Structure 1
């Protein structure tokens, strides 16, 4: 299997607010991409422990050999050098022209202008590096700047975004806008009418303007049912959604104290600013991490964010896990939920985590009663009744020294039931935080990246004698059940204890495909 090509990276920051916020942002040479953190929240003996995350900028420099090139400024460097290396990181400094510290006549920020300037930077980088495309890495509003470029600016110019953009990774981007938990929509209407500090860019009318190409835009505004999260595939020059990754924060409590009002307004199912349901593009890759929108405990300044970013950009295999063949007990008063967590051997963090305590469990529906997709896109069953659990990327070059020939992953699966009576939760026989099924699938994948067919073994923790750390995979690797090329599929039986809950035919379906 070939090693993914290293492409230039362009970082696009988030919303800065008013002129004072913009002035503060432009004082940072790297627009915040160089900020790190030093604490983890839970340590031994209930004491905070020291853990140093250097920053995504420095980590890409150290881990992947990327260079940060300036000569007084990025612009001076680009103007004075005929060639630049593809393994380079660039900051889209779109806020500079709106800062009063540079000029007495700052320009008003406009989303379309920021996207047009991003295209100019991309074209310059491509020309001087010889790279066919660049990867875009964006925080918060920066993801909307990138989508404006991809969905409006480039199509209006008759250019295919896939010809200049390789992949798009977004941290906590409000793909669905920003909404509030109270006010019955009045707060949103007030924001969009007055445009406080330019925040109307997170409302549907303005989003429709900068996410829709002129050729298909309705002059009357967004049609009924228009979803700003969508990246439509039925348009010329549609960008493939499989090239997009959305990192979703689930911790509102750690959003900066100064933003406490914001965190209270958007509600608990959020990262403190962006609600969970607004933080993804339907059909794109997703990972949920218990981090806040920004700050020292934010998604950008986190090991969780970096590890997902690194594997998405440079991984060589994509792995999907889904629950299939399940049949839930026929009880009209019972709702079923699944909780999942993905851990990687050698990392101090959880790569992906969806739990009830973090307001984002997976809602399970019986495939016999709900044979077609329904509900939120990320939890809907497909026509075959599959419930997606995890979608992640493997990088054979990142195998931990202790892996002894394999890369080890652990998928923690819990299934819980909630009883209802007269439309209210019934706690009469309830045991809080107690799952009806709870087990961990331990997966070992061969670390040889030379082939797309993995040597994979999998066993449930309940069948392992002793600690998982001491377990060594034995016997034959699981076989490929799909005869097609470049796709490996295997169905793993659930432990017998799960049969009364999900049925005897329930399986975990693992799918492995090459990733570039």
Structure 2
């Protein structure tokens, strides 16, 4: 495990924007120097004094914040961009590069090129090699071409372009592919786009909408029909594609604020979406050797696909991005369900029920969540009663909730050096069906089988000691104090922390909250 004293490397960030449908949208993209990644947001938050106005909360944009917080800079030089003839800039590793792939398709720029993901993927490969040459050609960086790395950060269709480059050998240079250190997506439709419950068809070539057909995407990523079920494009093949631990999916759950097409998009994408992409289609996973799904690191925010309250221009997504890129500790959070109990009157009946698992994780002293999954926002993890009780489906008793990355130790307050956050776990009382008929007795709509908040503090190494942790359920004591720290038993660079939980009565649930902790950027 890292001791937190070594200065970690910083690599260039290449932003890849999302889909532009019409010619005017492509023009707008081409005219914007940062393709939308410079857009911030302002929201209001309530204050305790009702006689005072609500407080503004301003997010300045990911580009500005990366400059202020981490010393990054853009690369424009005397009006020229990196691919332009005459560009002379020798780049710092802490550079922000915008992949301007729509420029030669935009009417504003006289664009005549086709807007194919395949062509964009090849262009991304070329851009990475150009960035490498400019970074490694700068003698002050002391970086060899073999040691060059970069981060890919993509919104929406931009993530599909990145995956086509990273997964399809015909669409990129292997040297460029090997240079990608981490891959972060905002609201990418990894498994395509559905409208009114139907996947966008292959024949719908208008405005290149067929780019979001699942069968097309599966072929684009080089999947063989024998290796995956028909129409699946949302997983990575273990050992053949990307290292799944170096990928992150940021998912939005607010459809209400997505105004595209005068609200028709959010209407047809329906509940359980960000207004365009369905929540389940924005996640990635892998398939292990036993056939079980292994999720990629994921976090959820109550943000729409884009717009004033979009996911890219949000504090929540920015915090997940920078902690994923630069943080020190990774924690994958899941629940191992031990048992579920039914209301006494139906405990021996055949029951159909769906259990909804909620989670909210927030760092100490911050007015936002690193991840937010709630029933009302359709972003919960779900398991059926049969999955949690049938021995044949025991693997389904492990429920992945989310991943959090804790902040760069060098930026922690030295007066209080622990990395601390709260995690609220909730399991809703399901709607019970007995003999296919809803059963309404002995439980309450919207109630919880279990709900409590766990306070966790992780203490980085100091004075030769290893990592330590302390925690408690908020309901266990009125005082906000925690028990003393105790060592985390690391094996190599990883450890596991388990915390039991149980309902007080039936109907109920019991199990273990599991934190898989590992060194990050060691």
Superposition TM-score, scaled by structure 2 size = 0.85
Equivalent-residue separation in structure 1 for 2:180 and 2:365 (angstroms) = 32
Change in Cα spacing, 1:449 to 1:512, as seen in structure 2 (3 Å) is: farther
Residues 146-194 of structure 1 deviation map (CA, whole Å, 9 limit, x = unaligned): 0111011x46667266521111100000101001225xx4x833xx324
Higher fraction of strand? 2
Equivalent-residue separation in structure 2 for 1:56 and 1:93 (angstroms) = 17
Number of the residue aligned with 1:145: 161
Residues 257-283 of structure 1 deviation map (CA, whole Å, 9 limit, x = unaligned): 644001000111100000011001113
Indicate the SS of the match to 2:316: helix
Indicate the SS of the match to 2:82: helix
Change in Cα spacing, 1:423 to 1:499, as seen in structure 2 (3 Å) is: closer
Number of the residue aligned with 1:7: 11
Indicate the SS of the match to 2:358: strand
Is residue 155–residue 161 contact of structure 1 (8 Å, CA) maintained in 2? no
Is residue 437–residue 498 contact of structure 1 (8 Å, CA) maintained in 2? no
Q: Summarize the alignment of residues 48-63 of structure 1 with structure 2, pairs less than 5 Å apart.
A: 49-63=55-69
Indicate the SS of the match to 1:75: coil
Question: Would you say 1:92 and 2:99 are equivalent positions?
Answer: yes
Change in Cα spacing, 1:507 to 1:338, as seen in structure 2 (3 Å) is: same
Equivalent-residue separation in structure 2 for 1:297 and 1:52 (angstroms) = 12
- Aligned-residue Cα RMSD (Å) equals 2.9
Q: Summarize the alignment of residues 35-54 of structure 1 with structure 2, pairs less than 5 Å apart.
A: 35-40=39-44, 45=50, 49-54=55-60
Q: Summarize the alignment of residues 84-483 of structure 1 with structure 2, pairs less than 5 Å apart.
A: 84-103=91-110, 106-130=112-136, 132-152=148-168, 154=169, 159=174, 163-182=178-197, 185=198, 188-189=200-201, 192-212=202-222, 225-233=230-238, 235=240, 238-256=241-259, 258-282=261-285, 283-324=295-336, 326-329=338-341, 331=347, 332-364=351-383, 369-371=389-391, 382=395, 385-397=397-409, 401=413, 404-418=416-430, 419-423=432-436, 425-448=438-461, 453-466=466-479, 471-477=480-486, 479-480=488-489
* Bigger shift: residues 3-12 or 357-366: 357-366
Indicate the SS of the match to 1:293: coil
Residue 474 of structure 1 and its aligned partner are, at CA, apart by 3.5
Residue 439 of structure 1 and its aligned partner are, at CA, apart by 0.8
Equivalent-residue separation in structure 2 for 1:94 and 1:156 (angstroms) = 15
Change in Cα spacing, 1:196 to 1:426, as seen in structure 2 (3 Å) is: farther
Residue 42 of structure 1 and its aligned partner are, at CA, apart by 5.5
Equivalent-residue separation in structure 2 for 1:372 and 1:6 (angstroms) = 47
Change in Cα spacing, 1:425 to 1:4, as seen in structure 2 (3 Å) is: farther
Equivalent-residue separation in structure 2 for 1:259 and 1:449 (angstroms) = 56
Is residue 361–residue 371 contact of structure 2 (8 Å, CA) maintained in 1? yes
Equivalent-residue separation in structure 2 for 1:79 and 1:284 (angstroms) = 41
Is residue 162–residue 239 contact of structure 1 (8 Å, CA) maintained in 2? no
For 2:504, which of 478, 494, 497 is the aligned residue? 497
Is residue 331–residue 405 contact of structure 2 (8 Å, CA) maintained in 1? yes
Is residue 253–residue 273 contact of structure 2 (8 Å, CA) maintained in 1? yes
* Ranges of 4+ aligned residues in structure 1 off by more than 6 Å: 449-452
Residue 48 of structure 1 and its aligned partner are, at CA, apart by 5.4
Number of the residue aligned with 2:36: 32
For 1:510, which of 501, 506, 515 is the aligned residue? 515
Indicate the SS of the match to 2:275: coil
Residue 515 of structure 1 and its aligned partner are, at CA, apart by 1.1
Indicate the SS of the match to 1:357: helix
Residues 476-501 of structure 1 deviation map (CA, whole Å, 9 limit, x = unaligned): 42552x6x222222322326737972
Equivalent-residue separation in structure 1 for 2:80 and 2:218 (angstroms) = 34
Indicate the SS of the match to 2:182: strand
Is residue 269–residue 277 contact of structure 2 (8 Å, CA) maintained in 1? yes
Is residue 420–residue 458 contact of structure 2 (8 Å, CA) maintained in 1? yes
Residue 225 of structure 1 and its aligned partner are, at CA, apart by 1.9
Residue 99 of structure 1 and its aligned partner are, at CA, apart by 1.1
Change in Cα spacing, 1:291 to 1:246, as seen in structure 2 (3 Å) is: same
Indicate the SS of the match to 2:107: coil
* Bigger shift: residues 29-38 or 406-415: 406-415
Indicate the SS of the match to 1:494: strand
Residue 421 of structure 1 and its aligned partner are, at CA, apart by 4.0
Equivalent-residue separation in structure 2 for 1:298 and 1:347 (angstroms) = 20
Residue 81 of structure 1 and its aligned partner are, at CA, apart by 2.9
Superposition TM-score, scaled by structure 1 size = 0.86
Unaligned 5+ runs, structure 2: 137-142, 286-294
Residues 117-161 of structure 1 deviation map (CA, whole Å, 9 limit, x = unaligned): 111111011122136111000000000010111011x46667266
Is residue 297–residue 332 contact of structure 2 (8 Å, CA) maintained in 1? no
